[in-house]
Chains A and B, each alone.
Chain A
Amino acid sequence: MNACDAHGRGARSIGLFQRVPVSGGLVLALGVAVVVGLPIFLVMTSLFADTHGIWDHLRENLLAGLLANTAVLSLGVLGLTAFFGVSAAYLTALCEFPGRRFFSWALLLPLAIPTYVMAFVYTGLLDFSGPVATFLRQHLPAAAPFMPPIRSTGGVILVLSLALYPYVFLLSAGGFASQGERILEASRSLGLSQRHLFFRVLLPMARPFIFGGLILVLMETLADFGAVAVFNFDTFTTAIYKAWFGFFSIDAASQLASLLVVMALMVLTAEGWSRRRMRYFKGRDGRSAIRVRLTGHCALGATLFLGGLFAVAFAIPMIQLIAWVVEAWREELHMGYGALFSHSLLLAGGGALLTLMVALALAFAGRTSPGWLMASLSRLSLLGYALPGTVLAVGMVRVLSGFDHMAAGFLGVFGVALSGPLLQGTVWVMPVAYMVRFLSVGFNAISSSLGRVSPSMDEAARTMGVGKWALMRRVHLPLIRRGMITGSILVFIDIMKEMPLTLMTRPFGWDTLAVKIFELTSEGEWERAAIPAVALVAAGLIPVVLLVWQKEKVNR
């Protein structure tokens, strides 16, 4: 440091951190990547593990059915969400008819209803013993036999599509809206009619966006546990749960999970590809197209169609839920909901806090030490969002039991015997599991607001003699505060709604709202499940309202 001292006291060397390629940020990102990657890795290794005949049993009796169910479910949901989402997006983005403004945000509201809530509302409503079927039997006995059963493949597909179509709607509406007026005028001047315009220009240009929405739908469908469980429709997620809690075979569960991981990673690759494509299709000229004014039958048809979609996807389920709550209110309220609520809030709070801190650290690490290594580490760290909760639960349990095993062996050397597992099945690991699952939600919110702080702002602060920590305190944190708040709200609510991961990693007796819904719906107690469900939907409305606000602000 002699040469440096010559430059005066308090001088710091910038030569120093050039010579050390490994920075603190890199080490930190590596740690996060290990925590996220280890469960995935352990699940993947069991793809080829030998599990004494259980696997053979699964393969002979289950696998074909699971694959067929998954394929039928995925294709059906993709088709139906594409139809609902694209038609709603086209009508609200490029046409004008009575109620358009209302539908452009109201059709997003079903995002607030978790798939499993949608599922149990419709099974309760349309089941043989439900109000609709009962009404038909009493007043229109002739029509009753023709009512299709809700507990069918078609029923699951319909219910999942009603809950998931907003993803396609949201993205493709953005795709349609970003096509500038200029390009539509150009197409018209080249002699395209309105119908040709849709199929030859509008649809192809919005295709990457539609595709992006459909991929989100596919991810959610593959990961869905609660809704298919309500319908007793066997997919990989329910099979994993049953393998574990039915056969008590973590190995069989892992093997099923590893197959699901392969599928999820394939979908993830497709997602990255579609996101790259979307960039080229972003319209450049700012003015959005003038809407085509629908008249007469067309306008009426559009209003009725979207009104019907809104009724079926949001209004009817909400009315039914509230009706049930009113019915079950009195006898249910003293049944210990306080504990459910406090458990849910505690877990969501702890999980959101941890996620926020890790996301912050990761975002800052990425800013201070960029490079390909950092980029791939943070991509690995964000993998959790593509993984179904059941898979992650299996992976976490494998990591924790491995750790407990090692800890017991280590302590045994010193003659210390443990009375039970050190980590597995404790509350403390649940925030970590949630962090792994939802890190990308928090990270995206923070890094997008941090991305708006240009590197030259950092440099400007440094030329004015402001060091690293003061820079963070005086510039970065104030600027990303909004992103931090949004990120934690989103993560908080995602955790509240999360079902399979909670169900499979919680300590015995730690019931949350989502877990309670699972238990009550598996016994067919719809009315009682409605109370926690309404609480979850109310919480879920917060991010949807935020989203709608943001959308309106952009449109203006």
Chain B
Amino acid sequence: MSYLDVEAITKHFGATCVARGVGFSLEKGDIGVLLGPSGCGKTTLLRMIAGFESPDGGAIHLDGRALWREGRGLAAEARHIGMVFQDYALFPHLTVWENIAFGMSGVSRKEMKATITELLLVTGLKGVEKRYPHEISGGQQQRVALARAIAPKPRCLLMDEPFSNLDVTLRESLSAEVRDIIKRFGITALMVTHNQHEAFAMADRIGVMMAGDILQWDTPEGLYHAPENLDVARFIGEGSLIAGTLTPDGDVDCSLGLFTGMAEAEPGEAKRVHVFVRPEAVRVAPSHAPARARLEASCFRGPGRSCLFRLPGGEGVKVASHDRCGLTEGSSYGLCVAEEGLSLFLEAGGRVSR
């Protein structure tokens, strides 16, 4: 059994189903992220782990103890789980120091002082401990919320969209900082977000959640390079979908060219498949390339150029070009595709394994 174990959780709110048999597990010290569009049930799942909602079915175990099993569970205040809320929920009548000390009970005064001092130092809050929440910046409030959740030494830390109230530039730097802090204290953490950049910056494991189900629970790399189905591929990063045919020999024929040995040979008829191409797997090549396409639009992105090509068949291909030399909109160019950047999906959405 893993450290945090969530098994087959189901949950309905009236007629809407927000969790249909969700399960995942997280090892001790890892940071997991539930990633999904709003309304997919990720926050509800987090709140069920925290103990604010009761699942209809399934089980949750933490460190070998049941938090929820057979329709019964521990009250939220008995779970020893820390939580960082979207609005931080800092107590406005308490100073930063008092906020952090709020949940520390059964600790000697000396130990409390040492812990809080260390937390203030690590979170860069030293010097503001006597101020009230409304007297510090949003980023500082966020770190107070984190310090307050960590201070009672919880068995697990939950974070509900912790960066959504911050502006974009702050988000990036803070998410790396928060990851460092969590790792330094060796805390097992689970975060919920709809922002994949935050998810990639924070996570050891990411679960892509849609319509009350986790579609794939994997490392960030696995998720990006080997999406298990079409929905995950489309949700994570960018890419283009091209219609193709999978021959019984395992070759794929599509308007980007013929790719051999893409799947295991399987006798029978040729199958229609979706070929999914990441923009960085396509290169603008000399004219003898297998596929030619007209450049429809291009947009400067700093490190490179993001281009949209139109194939003769009418399908669009997104390409990340790193050439410094300019491309002319309306002209035709050759396109060259790296095979390992392709993923194949059946019509139903499932991945075709190699």
A286 located at the interface, meaning its Cβ lies under 8 Å from any Cβ of chain B in the complex: no
Chain B residues closer than 8 Å to A3, beta-carbon distance: 69-70, 72
B102 located at the interface, meaning its Cβ lies under 8 Å from any Cβ of chain A in the complex: yes
Chain A residues closer than 8 Å to B70, beta-carbon distance: 3
B271 located at the interface, meaning its Cβ lies under 8 Å from any Cβ of chain A in the complex: no
Q: Are A459 and B82 in contact (CB under 8 A)?
A: no
Give the interface size class of chain B. Answer: 35 or more
Bound Cα distance A461, B76 (Å):
10
Q: Are A459 and B50 in contact (CB under 8 A)?
A: yes
Give the interface size class of chain A. Answer: 20 to 34
Chain B residues closer than 8 Å to A13, beta-carbon distance: 72-73, 75
Q: A454-B89, A459-B83, A463-B83 are in contact. Are A7 and B66 (CB under 8 A)?
A: yes
Nearest B-chain residue to A455, judged by Cβ? B89
Q: Are A10 and B78 in contact (CB under 8 A)?
A: yes
A18 located at the interface, meaning its Cβ lies under 8 Å from any Cβ of chain B in the complex: yes
Interface residues of B in 223-267 (CB under 8 A from A): none
B79 located at the interface, meaning its Cβ lies under 8 Å from any Cβ of chain A in the complex: yes
B71 located at the interface, meaning its Cβ lies under 8 Å from any Cβ of chain A in the complex: yes
Chain B residues closer than 8 Å to A479, beta-carbon distance: 91-93
Chain A residues closer than 8 Å to B52, beta-carbon distance: 459, 462
Chain B residues closer than 8 Å to A7, beta-carbon distance: 65-66, 72-74
Q: Return A467 CB to nearest CB of chain B, in Å.
A: 6
Chain A residues closer than 8 Å to B148, beta-carbon distance: 460, 464
Chain B residues closer than 8 Å to A27, beta-carbon distance: none
Bound Cα distance A486, B76 (Å):
34
Q: Are A465 and B105 in contact (CB under 8 A)?
A: yes
Bound Cα distance A461, B74 (Å):
16
Q: A4-B72, A7-B66, A467-B77 are in contact. Are A461 and B50 (CB under 8 A)?
A: no
Interface residues of B in 35-81 (CB under 8 A from A): 50-52, 54, 65-66, 69-81
Q: Are B152 and A478 in contact (CB under 8 A)?
A: no
Chain B residues closer than 8 Å to A456, beta-carbon distance: 85-87, 89
Q: Are B78 and A465 in contact (CB under 8 A)?
A: yes
Nearest A-chain residue to B79, judged by Cβ? A463
B147 located at the interface, meaning its Cβ lies under 8 Å from any Cβ of chain A in the complex: no
B222 located at the interface, meaning its Cβ lies under 8 Å from any Cβ of chain A in the complex: no
When the two chains form the complex, which single residue of B74, B86, B92, B103 contacts A464, counting CB atoms closer than 8 Å? B103
Q: Are A465 and B103 in contact (CB under 8 A)?
A: yes
Q: Return B13 CB to nearest CB of chain A, in Å.
A: 14
Chain A residues closer than 8 Å to B78, beta-carbon distance: 10-12, 465
Contact bitstring B305-349, A, C-beta under 8 A = 1, else 0 = 000000000000000000000000000000000000000000000
A53 located at the interface, meaning its Cβ lies under 8 Å from any Cβ of chain B in the complex: no
Nearest B-chain residue to A4, judged by Cβ? B72
B209 located at the interface, meaning its Cβ lies under 8 Å from any Cβ of chain A in the complex: no
Q: Return B52 CB to nearest CB of chain A, in Å.
A: 6
Nearest B-chain residue to A479, judged by Cβ? B93
Bound Cα distance A14, B52 (Å):
9
Q: A7-B65, A465-B152 are in contact. Are A460 and B85 (CB under 8 A)?
A: yes
Q: Return B50 CB to nearest CB of chain A, in Å.
A: 6
Q: Return B258 CB to nearest CB of chain A, in Å.
A: 56
Bound Cα distance A462, B89 (Å):
12
Interface residues of A in 442-500 (CB under 8 A from B): 454, 456-457, 459-467, 474-475, 478-479
Bound Cα distance A8, B71 (Å):
16
Q: Are B66 and A6 in contact (CB under 8 A)?
A: yes
Nearest A-chain residue to B103, judged by Cβ? A464
Q: A463-B82, A465-B103, A465-B105 are in contact. Are A14 and B76 (CB under 8 A)?
A: yes
Bound Cα distance A478, B71 (Å):
36
Q: Are B75 and A459 in contact (CB under 8 A)?
A: no
B149 located at the interface, meaning its Cβ lies under 8 Å from any Cβ of chain A in the complex: yes
Bound Cα distance A459, B43 (Å):
14
Contact bitstring B76-112, A, C-beta under 8 A = 1, else 0 = 1111111101110111110000000011010000000
Bound Cα distance A479, B91 (Å):
9
Chain A residues closer than 8 Å to B149, beta-carbon distance: 460, 463-464
Q: Return A89 CB to nearest CB of chain B, in Å.
A: 32
A338 located at the interface, meaning its Cβ lies under 8 Å from any Cβ of chain B in the complex: no
Q: Are B81 and A463 in contact (CB under 8 A)?
A: yes
Q: Are A12 and B74 in contact (CB under 8 A)?
A: yes
Q: Are A14 and B89 in contact (CB under 8 A)?
A: no
Q: Are A459 and B89 in contact (CB under 8 A)?
A: yes
Bound Cα distance A7, B78 (Å):
10
Contact bitstring A106-121, B, C-beta under 8 A = 1, else 0 = 0000000000000000
Chain B residues closer than 8 Å to A21, beta-carbon distance: none
A371 located at the interface, meaning its Cβ lies under 8 Å from any Cβ of chain B in the complex: no
Chain A residues closer than 8 Å to B103, beta-carbon distance: 461, 463-466
Q: Are A462 and B91 in contact (CB under 8 A)?
A: no
Nearest A-chain residue to B47, judged by Cβ? A459
Q: Return A513 CB to nearest CB of chain B, in Å.
A: 37
Chain B residues closer than 8 Å to A464, beta-carbon distance: 77, 82, 102-103, 148-149, 152
Bound Cα distance A474, B69 (Å):
32
**7 A-B residue pairs with CB within 8 Å:** A454-B89, A459-B50, A459-B85, A462-B77, A463-B51, A463-B76, A463-B82
- 12 more A-B residue pairs beyond the given contacts A463-B50, A464-B149, with a C-beta to C-beta distance below 8 A: A7-B73, A10-B78, A11-B74, A13-B72, A13-B75, A14-B74, A14-B76, A15-B72, A456-B87, A465-B77, A466-B77, A475-B93
Q: Which 3 A-B pairs have the closest CB atoms?
A: A464-B103, A456-B89, A460-B89
